Structure 1
């Protein structure tokens, strides 16, 4: 997976944490059998920045833990016709995830598990949203949440 990680936090994110995010998302991509040249980004921010993003894009004036912006390729005004081999060579950008490291720490403490487990959980959660999974309806939640747990558990970030 072609993953870009950006650190827009006040104090910086450790190399250990960026490596964890890289590894868990690589694992999740293989788990979902995504093409190796799938592209996405993760941006680490603080609560103030994610609050601004949440307000602007969701109309919710509070900090949240993770926000996903999926790139949906539904523009078929001018479809490009190509064979399967050519289609597999073109990278697919699935979108961007923003994670509040402040919320990672707060929620890890509140839920009494490690910072690493919470960080992994949030990026996998956002990653699944980028891949079309949702939890707004009970039938969608019944698919997304067990998949999220399977990925986390098999990766080794059990609760």
Structure 2
């Protein structure tokens, strides 16, 4: 399930469930995680700051939070993720990246955490592999 916070609007980023669903499925396919179920909540900085404090005890918003599933009854369920479009837009500007490409990068990063990957060279390479794979079909990523 994909949920989007009410009133969330960023002109350079997908903010509607159907477009986000296609984007997530394309990312999962690029990461060879296709078929995995997940829950995604797309939020603004205010809600992300609350999630960050509640789950990690950290102040302020972050870009993405991932909560891997631990349900042996649902082996196809990857887990839950939250992404702040406010932070994505801000970071894309700061890093000089197309906003959509940065969103793909963060979603791929989050999905890899859900699949059990930790930070490091393998995760970084797989994340960039997903960004590159989607860039081949989406001119808005470059």
TM-score interval (norm. to shorter)? 0.7 to 0.9
Cα displacement (A) at 1:57: 0.7
Q: Is the 8 A contact 2:64 2:107 kept in 1?
A: yes
Structure 1 residues 73 and 102, CA, compared in 2 at 3 Å: closer, same or farther? same
Q: Is the 8 A contact 2:31 2:130 kept in 1?
A: no
Partner of 1:126: 110
Runs of 4+ in 1 over 2 A off after TM superposition: 9-14, 18-25, 27-36
Provide the C-alpha distance between the structure 1 equivalents of 2:54 and 2:27, rounded to a whole number of angstroms.
Answer: 29
* Pairing 1:98–2:82 present: yes
**Which residue, 4, 7, 11 being the options, matches 2:4?**
7
Provide the C-alpha distance between the structure 1 equivalents of 2:129 and 2:95, rounded to a whole number of angstroms.
Answer: 19
Cα displacement (A) at 1:115: 1.4
Q: Give me the CA root mean square deviation.
A: 2.4
Between the two proteins, the alignment pairs up a number of residues equal to 135
Q: Is the 8 A contact 1:64 1:100 kept in 2?
A: yes
In the alignment, structure 2 segments of 5+ residues that lack a partner are none
**Which residue, 33, 50, 53 being the options, matches 1:52?**
50
Partner of 2:66: 68
Cα displacement (A) at 1:120: 1.2
* Pairing 1:150–2:134 present: no
Provide the C-alpha distance between the structure 2 equivalents of 1:41 and 1:35, rounded to a whole number of angstroms.
Answer: 14
TM, length-normalised to structure 1: 0.73
